[in-house]
Amino acid sequence: MLAVLSPGQGSQKPGFLTPWVDLPHADARLKWWSALAGVDLRHLGTEADADEIRDTARTQPLLVAAALLAADHLPMHDVGLVAGHSVGELGAAALAGVLPAEAAITLAGVRGREMAAACALEPTGMSAVLGGDPGEVLAAIEQHGLHPANRNGAGQIVAAGGRDALAKFAADPPAKVRVITLQVAGAFHTPYMAPAETALAAVAGGVTTTDPARILLSNLDGSAVVHGREVLQRLVRQVTAPVRWDLCMRTLKDLNVTGIIELPPAGTLAGLIKRELKGDGAPEIVTLNTPDDLPAARDLIARHGVTPSHEPVPSFRVVVAANAGTFRPADGLDEGQDVRAGQVIGHVVTRQGEVELTAHAGGALTEWLAHHDDPVAPGQPIARIGGHTEGATR
């Protein structure tokens, strides 16, 4: 399986959008999206300096626009999974078909402006905490009245909160830990962003969604989300909730993702994945930073993606576990068999008893993603169910 990933804030670099703006239709799209976002995206991506694109209100719509602009030049119908880090989730949701591109850009503009406004209410910040025992690091963060805003795996946790508390934490860190102050406007993904969450929810309430056309992972818990409305609710909630990129990477491994493309500005997520998913079975990665990288990205999709076909193709839906426990498939139910909406396809055996897993829609049981007696976590993908429809997206 191949995954396409959309990076988040902090990955931007001055001029990173320059190689893309002369491609067909790019300039017109950027003008339209700029009107929706309330910022000049072409200027920000080509001429603005590092300080200007560090502004949260500008950076967030710029990153979503860059991801969508580059993805326009990929055969996304052959991509099986998408995910994004922080604001990158808006880009991923659009690539999964949950949101129109225009809605993703508009929401990114609102999100950026409102989070910037929330940052101005009191002095807060973020610090990267590298190394150490994860349990000890989390305990120390809590002890100082801080929040673990990002858990990025590979020995990296981001602490966020009041600047005075961050300074005290840096002065007395846990053993074998290095603390790096991040140049950000405030404590993202913490309760300090509550006003921004409220403002974003008010706008998101008017957005029409559809269910994902491919697997879409959530930063909230690394699970595959199957209902469009839930995706939107999670996108709003993520403004104040920690980014669990560690759990997203665990799901990439659980799903045996063999190829990964990181959209521009690429490199940050690829670095985390290389440190976390290494050794035998490590995915092949392409960082898509300029149009010169498109041939390599397309080749990766051709080798790891869904095989193109002129026949009717399946529109997949993913069944996920609601509880932790041990998975037991329904007796006699094998890959390739048809299931109906509401049919019990298996159970999760917990200490409190068995919990039924049902199909949300009818179709063919295309693939088991968990097997008999496998331990499963809440939100873990269990099976893919596909219904054959002409012109659908895999």
* Residues annotated as catalytic (active site), given as ranges: 86, 189
Q: Which residue has the tokens 């055996």?
A: 349
The residue count of the chain comes to: 394
Q: What are phi and psi of 223, to 5 degrees?
A: -85, 160
Q: Which residue has the tokens 């295309």?
A: 366
How many alpha carbons fall within 13 Å on the CB side of residue 255? Answer: 30
For the chain, where are the E strands, in sequence order?
2-6, 81-84, 124-131, 147-153, 156-162, 177-181, 215-216, 259-262, 284-287, 313-320, 325-329, 338-339, 344-350, 353-358, 363-368, 375-376, 381-389
Task: Provide CB contacts within 8 A for 174, sequence distance 6+.
Answer: 132, 133, 136, 137, 140
Q: Which residues pair with 128 in a beta bridge?
A: 158, 180
Question: What is the DSSP annotation of 194-254?
Answer: HHHHHHHHHHHTT------SSEEB-TTTSPBP--HHHHHHHHHHTTTS-B-HHHHHHHHHH
CB 339 within 8 A of CB 345: yes
Q: Which residue has the tokens 């700029």?
A: 34
Quote the CA–CA distance of 359 and 299 in Å, as a whole number. 34
CB 79 within 8 A of CB 4: yes
Task: Provide CB contacts within 8 A for 340, sequence distance 6+.
Answer: 359, 362
CB 129 within 8 A of CB 157: yes
